[in-house]
Amino acid sequence: MSPLKLATLNLWRRKIPTFLAVGAIAVAVACSGILWRINILASSRFESLGKGPEAVIGAKSGGIDILLGSLNGEGSYPGFLPKKLFDSLRSAQTVQFEDGAQSQTKYIRAIVPFLYFAKFKEARVVATDESFFGQPLDNERMQFESGSWTGNPNEAVIGADIATHSGLNVGDSFTANAWFGEDIFSPTQVSLKVAGILKSTSSTWDRLIYTDLASAQEILKRTDLRTKSIWGADVLNYFLVRLEPNGLQPLQALVNSRTVGQVIDVQTEKTRLEELVGSGKNLGLLLAILVLIQGGLCMASMLITRFEAMSMQLAVLRAIGYQKNQLGTWLVFEGLIIGLCAAVIGGILDYAFFPFICHLLGSSLPSLELGGVMIFASWPVWFMTLLSTTLAVIVPLYRVYHQDVHFSLRG
């Protein structure tokens, strides 16, 4: 009888211990896989933030909220800012306040409008203008894979990821749904035609759709924004800004103190976010490793106990002609079979419960649509499971190779 056959029959003969062992390790695999993927998902925020702006102006809501809403396309629908403020900042006009105070705005190198107004499936549609593409935020022009930005009403440029997953090409038409937040009902649909496709930037810009401000204004005028905007349809969500040297402080003094907006320094808020979630990420990774080690130790303990109780059986097999290497292979096969079954069941549990766990964590993680982590990202956990269950047979293997057959049979 082959070692594989011996392993299969022995595991099946001891059903309850086998099922308990596989179940315990499968739970450890599922927990480790979930923690592992959460760690990857949390890290995706820093890798995918839109590149370019040195500062962002948004409605007062907190620096990290503005950072993630503008440069990572996540979170709830942001607040509005008056477009007149944007126009004044862009034209470097003197800004006049109600109390008579004035401020010169000569510390901005480039400023880009940003307004979410629709969704195509889960992708956000952004209203902007040619400055996003032609006046680079990142000191180089946005590259097009095909087509170009026209600025014509109801024409759109799509990010590289959108083109890949939707199958849209230049000249194709698609329909998006107006979106100004979950609490604003707007059944309006927006028909758009693809005018261009961006080259991949490996950032949030790949997951957005861009169209002109005129298209957004038409939808805004037909939407009841009384609970959201006191400026009617003349609003934006964010201003993306490149600054002149030492321009941050005067811009913050102007906007933060005298308007409904808030200026954030992108690098400062990114550092704060990394500090905020960094300890949690490291703790999650440590827990994943500890859970996996615990599963491996439990496996080793179980196998040692099982094979201690099988000393007479092993001695009989040796007596009827089985070689040490055959019995050793048998033990290795048992560890592999248990590890493989546990990895498969644990992977299924990981796949089933990961979205639920992410939902419980809420806004502390990016949405799965924006930073989806496939189930196969848990492969290191599965590999470590197979490795640990295989290494767990080392002690029983040592006992087999040093067993005194005659003494065992006499016992």
Tokens 């029959």, residue? Answer: 9
Q: In one letter, which amino acid is 86? A: F
Whole-number pLDDT of residue 370: 43
- pTM > 0.85: no
pLDDT digits (tens, 9 = 90+) for 233-263: 889 999 999 888 888 888 888 888 878 899 9
Angle between helices 324-361 and 15-48 (to 10 degrees): 50
Q: Residue 368 pLDDT more than 60?
A: no
Contact (CB, 8 A) for 130 and 149: yes
Distances in Å between the Cα of 31 and the Cα atoms of 5, 27, 228, 352, 365 are 31, 6, 42, 12, 17
pLDDT averaged over every residue in the chain: 80
Where is mean pLDDT largest: 8-12, 92-96, 159-163, 231-235? 159-163
The average pLDDT across 326-349 equals: 86
Helices (H), ranges, 154-265: 160-166, 213-221, 248-258
Distance (Å, whole) CA 291 – CA 350: 14
